[in-house]
Structure 1
């Protein structure tokens, strides 16, 4: 979960420096808090327990304490016009007064701006302190449980809140509802009794439709696979008919947030909604260098072309489906691992040929270098992409966005992904040339040429009889090109096939 992390300070700093710092009220969203950005440092100690039953301390505070199912403690207090939630330790003698001061400032701003608050309203506050410059900040947002939306006290830019590009007011409503469900997910333990009882049944209906849609359509835009949907439905069905509790509300809100996030990205309910995941809704700024790409494909046996198209299919306007990404990376990693093993075999064979009588050591350097390049590039890619097949869609989108060059597009990444297979093919061809050269020195050039022709005909025959092309009359000049196209794309077709699962 992305978060904005600001320099932290000790609790006493809030009280001692409050008079000398600039105060700033900062609008934030439920996904830009410090919830997952703070390091979990604790002060552990030993103590001695008093004899007898330990009595719980009654602080007589207006704040109620709750524990999130993940383990995070938060506090809630009900006021006349709205409820307040915070993850700050309001029981601390320095932080508590600071929170109260900020609440007074917010109350004053409500009056100054003439904001009318809805009935089912909740305020989130989070204290931040920047050492340089000396600024005390209170990050905040309001939640309306009736409309399932977030709002603020002053005009706030959707760009500054990192909400994404919008196309209409209803599109903005989907974005705000997604942020609302994230808030409910983070603070579920005190509001589950207030939630509408139909949120569970509606969620079951949405996921059931999504599962059938993914089963019957290869290009469904629903964010979860059939298997994930089945797991979700099994867990949700166990809670159907039971009173809603905080633990159930937590994962129900998380699923609603994910669904609303996907609806936002696919322009759900808009005039031009994305109904097919392979159709981008906004034209992509494709950067192409056809001349350089043609040279790269010529040198690397045409393999970069296939990775180039697959990466473009996978990365559609910053949207990446997690099942596509995981299957694509699993296929790539499997191929790189196989190429390392095959190239190692070619490396050993080239060394053995170089050790034969009357062999030329210089002729063995080219296949050895090519095989070593295949092993090195494959091993580097395997180390660099370790765990990528289990990564999330957001991680995949960030990775592809970073890897996509502003000047070259996906060409550099396509070339890098092609290196293990391309260099293996070069090593195999150069090893055969090395062997033919050795044969020519041992039994003569005619025999060597005959052997080379035999190997070429055997390779072409295998490609011909294993080609996926229909057996239709075709000029002989076009057959080798089509058969070679089938061969060079075989390594990436598995990854390409899963793009539309």
Structure 2
């Protein structure tokens, strides 16, 4: 991956996502300065020592960069106002030009070179504004560039186009955009709005509300395509990317471009819905299924519900921010409800202290309620800060807690514990109530109440199940068919 460039220093291929743009640190040194008379009554020009064909530009975020016009453009964030840095940049550009001549590398006015000075070394990449892709002077494996595996050449081009739009977002001030680029982006977001409205499992990385905001923003930008701020905006939103906010400062255009990669866009097996797996096997019959069975029984099937939600939000190890936020919000509501129920159950024990004939049952139910209350509090404390994290942070978190063997089975059981402990506490408290009734009114009365309660519970379970509705439908269909036959028989007899 590293090639030696004729003299001291190494020339290293890199990508627009690996320049360390947002990791650089430095300290400014403010000084007192004299304000000359009429200093700002005329425009300030660039320092005289900036070389010919070089110009300085300021990114909308505030980053200073420099651009050189020529047979091909050169951009760099190296501080050229410092003479020694300027000498290094000039020397490396000459070395790269020599290598391009030796390798017969095609040169055009659409070609642009990025260089980054790294002590005595230099990192570089090329972008071609005609093909909208990054390229390098030598053959390089995608793994060496930090790019994920691909299934075809067309998918590799999608990744390289994602890198191109990252470059456009980072260096937007020296060139404009054409109208078709913006219009195509408006069409993509318009389709996404419809997709979000009609599908619960849309693969688009932004919500309907966000898409509508993007469409309005882009339409208002149509008359300012030569403005660097608008170029940066389009670079953030071009229809070519999605990694669910893979980087905090990742442009939206690369975000959507990676979306094309992650949905396997244009390939034999493409992802048509968010819950469709194309990279990882999503076998519902995972190994160690007994863990889920035991957890389901102990938690009154509450763990099953959380397991489905965790698997659904992490299909192919991808996380969509809206689905993550919805899942965490629902879990927090469940845990708050469990804590309220546990608190009320504990308050009822004030009544049992004087009347219960079985202190051990009272202690057991109180302990279960306390455990539920404590578990709810801990879960809320742990997950409330995670409600608003980015999709990338959520993806990293789920990667960390997912077991290679058990997947999310134990995590789902942990999620279900506050509610399950609350239900177990309620059950033990009910048993204690039966003992109280037996002591006060006799065993027969308590047994009768127990039978009525069990029948009421079973009736509730049956009437709220799918089987009950299906049974009612079946009975209704049989009755209707029999009634129709009787009517036909009566009509035939009359005739």
Same fold at TM > 0.5 = yes
State the match for 1:212 in structure 2. Answer: 194
* 1:122 corresponds to which of 79, 100, 112: 112
Per-residue deviation, residues 328-370 of structure 1 (Å, max 9, x unmatched): 22211221222122222222323x1442245543322222222
Q: Does structure 1 residue 229 correspond to structure 2 residue 215?
A: no
State the match for 2:142 in structure 1. Answer: 158
Show the 5 A alignment for 1:32-51: 32-39=18-25, 41-51=26-36
CA distance in 1, matches of 2:345, 2:356: 20
Q: 1:241 to 1:219 in 2, by over 3 A?
A: same
Per-residue deviation, residues 354-407 of structure 1 (Å, max 9, x unmatched): 422455433222222222222222222222222433333323322222222112
State the match for 1:52 in structure 2. Answer: 37
Return the offset for 1:283.
4.3
Q: Name which one, 1 or 2, has greater alpha-carbon Rg.
A: 2
Show the 5 A alignment for 1:22-421: 23-39=9-25, 41-54=26-39, 56=44, 58-62=47-51, 63-78=54-69, 80-128=70-118, 136-192=120-176, 195-256=177-238, 257=253, 258-284=255-281, 287-350=286-349, 352-357=350-355, 359-421=357-419
Q: Which moved more, 1:228-237 or 1:86-95?
A: 86-95
Q: 1:200 to 1:358 in 2, by over 3 A?
A: closer
Q: Secondary structure at the match of 1:205?
A: helix
Higher relative contact order (CA 8 A, sep 6+): 1
CA distance in 1, matches of 2:23, 2:412: 34
CA distance in 2, matches of 1:66, 1:387: 39
Per-residue deviation, residues 68-115 of structure 1 (Å, max 9, x unmatched): 11222222222x332222223222344333333433333333234332
Q: Which moved more, 1:421-430 or 1:378-387?
A: 378-387
Q: 1:128 to 1:349 in 2, by over 3 A?
A: farther
Is the 1:197–1:244 contact (alpha carbons within 8 Å) kept by the matching residues of 2? no
Q: 1:469 to 1:96 in 2, by over 3 A?
A: farther
Q: Which moved more, 1:105-114 or 1:303-312?
A: 105-114
Q: Which moved more, 1:326-335 or 1:285-294?
A: 285-294
Give TM-score scaled by structure 2 length.
0.82
Q: Which moved more, 1:412-421 or 1:453-462?
A: 453-462
Per-residue deviation, residues 253-311 of structure 1 (Å, max 9, x unmatched): 11112222211111222233222332222342655211222222222222222222222
CA distance in 1, matches of 2:95, 2:264: 38
Q: Does structure 1 residue 440 correspond to structure 2 residue 449?
A: no
Return the offset for 1:228.
1.5
Is the 1:148–1:177 contact (alpha carbons within 8 Å) kept by the matching residues of 2? yes
Instruction: Structure 2: state its 5+ residue gaps.
Output: 1-6, 239-252, 473-495
Return the offset for 1:242.
4.2
Return the offset for 1:429.
1.3
Per-residue deviation, residues 150-182 of structure 1 (Å, max 9, x unmatched): 011111111222322211111111111111111
Is the 2:356–2:432 contact (alpha carbons within 8 Å) kept by the matching residues of 1? no
CA distance in 1, matches of 2:414, 2:123: 43
Q: Which moved more, 1:318-327 or 1:49-58?
A: 49-58
Q: 1:262 to 1:154 in 2, by over 3 A?
A: same
Instruction: Structure 1: state its 5+ residue gaps.
Output: 1-20, 130-135, 475-501
Per-residue deviation, residues 398-433 of structure 1 (Å, max 9, x unmatched): 222222211211112211211121111112212222
Give TM-score scaled by structure 1 length.
0.81
Is the 1:284–1:316 contact (alpha carbons within 8 Å) kept by the matching residues of 2? no
Q: 1:337 to 1:94 in 2, by over 3 A?
A: farther
CA distance in 2, matches of 1:337, 1:161: 46
CA distance in 2, matches of 1:73, 1:189: 10
Return the offset for 1:141.
1.2
CA distance in 2, matches of 1:346, 1:54: 76
Is the 2:150–2:156 contact (alpha carbons within 8 Å) kept by the matching residues of 1? yes
